[in-house]
Amino acid sequence: MLKKVFLLVLFCICINTSANNGYKLWLQYKLVENEALRANYVSNLKAIHAFGDSETINMAMNELDLGFSGLLGTPLKHSKTINNKTLVFGSESFLSTQLKSKLQSDLNKINSEGFVIKSVQVAGNQNIVITGKTDVGVLYGVYHFLRLLQTNQSIENLNIVDSPKIDIRVLNHWDNLDRTVERGYAGFSIWDWHRLPGYIDKRYIDYARANASIGINGTVLTNVNANAYILSEAYIEKVKALADVFRPYGIKVYLTARFSAPIELGGLKTADPLDKEVIQWWKDKTAEIYKAIPDFGGFLVKANSEGQPGPQNYGRNHVDGANMLAEVVAPYNGIVMWRAFVYSEHDPEDRAKQAYDEFVPYDGQFKDNVLVQVKNGAIDFQPREPFHPMFGAMPKTPLMMEFQITQEYLGFSTHTVFLPELFKEVLEEDTWQKGKGSTVAKVVDGTLSNKKLTGIAGVANIGNDINWTGNTMLQANWYGYGRLAWNPYLEPKTIADEWLRCTFSNNSNFINPVEQMLLDSREAVVNYMTPLGLHHIMDTGHHYGPGPWVSDLSRPEWNPKYYHKADKLGVGFDRSKSGSHATGQYKSEVANVFDNVETCPEKYLLWFHHLPWDYKLKNGKSLWDGMALKYQEGVNQVADMNATWSKMKPYVDAERYHEISMFLKIQLNEAKWWRDACLLYFQQFSGEDLPAGVESPAHTLEYYQSLKFPYAPGN
Ligand code: BDP
């Protein structure tokens, strides 16, 4: 009896704590709770029939088994024939003539990675067919189909035809060979270089599954601040082992190429891109890589930026460097992603103008297999930046978007910030390159200027923490990046909805409030860190917390003071005609709006204008009062996020509920820290009291300035 009671108590404890460490990401495949819906799924899905038996098709089958076991409580029978209510999947080359004729017009609409999911009636049988031109297209369709069940949608009368709108959809890992991750806040690198190639961590497979499920088709394994050693023979073997794991999931590997590798690895005296021996070295190295990895994607290069070597060290330019490598990889269909993140300490006027000044004159000069990779804004992944003017200025060059998923400037991995809102804001901006409607999204997906090659990159927020991203909520940003890379026109609300349903629950009592919380979270972080167009006022080096007072760094444009220029007269960076005239880098329709303080959106006010503290905002408040109230609003928003989450306990497993609660509390404390430190600092110049409604700071300015974080992560 006693034993029974004990077991019962133990059982209850287990249920209540229902451990979920977040490892399974959005591929939770939890039992569909709505019984009627589950019964409907079961009645429509009697068996699975696969066409073909490639590795990719086998992976797709495994995923369907895993998915159905979880979602329906049992896997489906694998059937050798197609009977009534059979889920049929495989590439078009295997379709019977009957099926093909029913699907042909849809197949004509997709590209090589697209898919068709269709309810089809053949000889009295009602089937669902998932097909595509390639096995990888089919795999994407399979994940899409599973998502329909995960998000509790109907699977009757299906007619889905979809293709990715961007060709190259990669994650950029800023991972070092010693497993530290530059700007990584989720532990160490998932690449266990020392134990590769012999030991294949299961994580590599789950990483590939997760990426394939959202359509990511490439991964740059190593830091842009590159180590030549990755190109050594021993490491190529290791990279090959990873490439072999990723291949069936449609994922190619890419490496960062250190421009001086011919010297460091090859023992040459120079890395001059026009030197015959240097070119030969890269040719031989590339041949060696392709011998091991026939579908190697190509190179990502950070050159002549922040101390990295590049063609300019030899009196050459970016075109010389990029085109040399492009020619070397071209015979293998490889590409070069050449970063435009360049700025020089010798041009103190305005860092925001430099990349444009340096790259735009080269428009049309890069080889066809070069993508110029441009950060979303002209400074550096700030909580908010106007879109990079290069997007409106290089019609003859494929420009690849670079977003940062890891939150270097947005609270590391503790702050819940739903980044699809940020990404979408940039993608929707109108460059006016070819008149109204020339959005950044159309530049990136190539439709504006008929580009043959298109790409998008996201700096990964992944590490070896058990839940991959440090904070479960930030899995949404990996997911959201992938979904937007597939379709840059998707709405953040749709993405949040999908992700929440797949990751946590379909219960509307959970979905509605938490979705709103996610959608509001991006504006919250802007408010409590950098409202009204402020930017780059974080602390130095590690970039953790506020540091608007920093002004003693060797390079002028590394100092926060350079960006806010606060003094007794006012605050903000004058980038209008009367200042650095960075506005002139935009098409006139955009430039005029930003240039005029009356028409400049207030969210970019201090990005483009230096204004007096008593400048009147649209709501009638003075700039000082308005700024202070924005900081307070940010804090209030995080308090609301905490309140929302505190009611979600009934809908979330104990482990993830508690983890997220703890992070939200940290976020609230840090939001207050940002508000107090920044307002105390700016108050020295404004000389004004805090307006009603803004809480008094908890400490003095000296206290905030004294805080030091020598071991903050990611630095
Ligand atoms: C900055 C980061 C630095 C990166 C650099 C880059 O602080 O760690 O190396 O960007 O993108 O934001 O190259």
pLDDT digits (tens, 9 = 90+) for 148-199: 999 999 999 999 999 999 999 999 999 999 999 999 999 999 999 999 999 9
With a cut of 80, say whether residue 9 has pLDDT above it.
Answer: no
Q: Is the peptide bond before 560 cis (omega within 30 degrees of 0)?
A: no
* Whether the CB of 385 sits within 6 Å of ligand 1: no
Q: Which atom of ligand 1 is nearest to the CA of 302?
A: 13
pLDDT at 348: 76
Average pLDDT, the chain: 96
With a cut of 90, say whether residue 1 has pLDDT above it.
Answer: no
Helix (H, G, I), strand (E, B) or coil at 209: helix
Answer whether 478's CB lies under 8 Å from 209's CB: no
Q: Which atom of ligand 1 is nearest to the CA of 543?
A: 7
The strand order across the sheet containing 77-78 reads 77-78, 47-50, 86-89, 125-131, 115-122, 159-162
User: CA dihedral in degrees (643, 647, 648, 650; nearest 10)?
Assistant: 160
* Whether the CB of 501 sits within 6 Å of ligand 1: no
- The residue whose C-alpha atom lies closest to atom 10 belonging to ligand 1 is 380
* Whether the CB of 523 sits within 6 Å of ligand 1: no
| pLDDT per position as a tens digit, 231-277 | 999 999 999 999 999 999 999 999 999 999 999 999 999 999 999 99
| pLDDT per position as a tens digit, 381-399 | 999 999 999 999 999 999 9
* Whether the CB of 655 sits within 6 Å of ligand 1: no
| pLDDT per position as a tens digit, 523-541 | 999 999 999 999 999 999 9
Taking the centre of ligand 1 as the mean of its atom positions, its distance from the CA of residue 618, in whole angstroms, is 35
pLDDT at 18: 65
- Candidates 408, 421, 633, 659; catalytic one: 408
- The residue whose C-alpha atom lies closest to atom 2 belonging to ligand 1 is 183
Q: Which atom of ligand 1 is nearest to the CA of 225?
A: 9
Sign of the four-CA dihedral 497, 498, 502, 506:
positive
* Whether the CB of 183 sits within 6 Å of ligand 1: yes
- The residue whose C-alpha atom lies closest to atom 11 belonging to ligand 1 is 341
Q: Which atom of ligand 1 is nearest to the CA of 305?
A: 13
Taking the centre of ligand 1 as the mean of its atom positions, its distance from the CA of residue 519, in whole angstroms, is 27
In the 3-class helix/strand/coil scheme, how is 271-290 assigned residue by residue? CCCCCHHHHHHHHHHHHHHH
Mean pLDDT over 472-484 rounds to 99
With a cut of 70, say whether residue 583 has pLDDT above it.
Answer: yes
CA 171 centroid distance within chain: 7
* Whether the CB of 479 sits within 6 Å of ligand 1: no
Helix (H, G, I), strand (E, B) or coil at 323: helix
* Whether the CB of 408 sits within 6 Å of ligand 1: yes
The answer to whether residue 465 is catalytic is: no
- The residue whose C-alpha atom lies closest to atom 9 belonging to ligand 1 is 225
Give every CB contact of residue 24 below 8 A, 6+ residues apart in sequence. Answer: none
Taking the centre of ligand 1 as the mean of its atom positions, its distance from the CA of residue 536, in whole angstroms, is 13
The answer to whether residue 306 is catalytic is: yes
pLDDT at 554: 87
* Whether the CB of 342 sits within 6 Å of ligand 1: no
* Whether the CB of 302 sits within 6 Å of ligand 1: yes
Domains and CATH numbers, the chain: 20-162 (3.30.379.10), 168-503 (3.20.20.80), 527-573+610-706 (3.90.1330.10)
The answer to whether residue 156 is catalytic is: no
The CB-side HSE value for 171 (13 A sphere, CA atoms) comes to 29
Residue to probe by mutation, ligand 1, list 408, 410, 538, most atoms within 8 Å of CB = 408
Q: Widest CA span of the chain, in angstroms?
A: 86
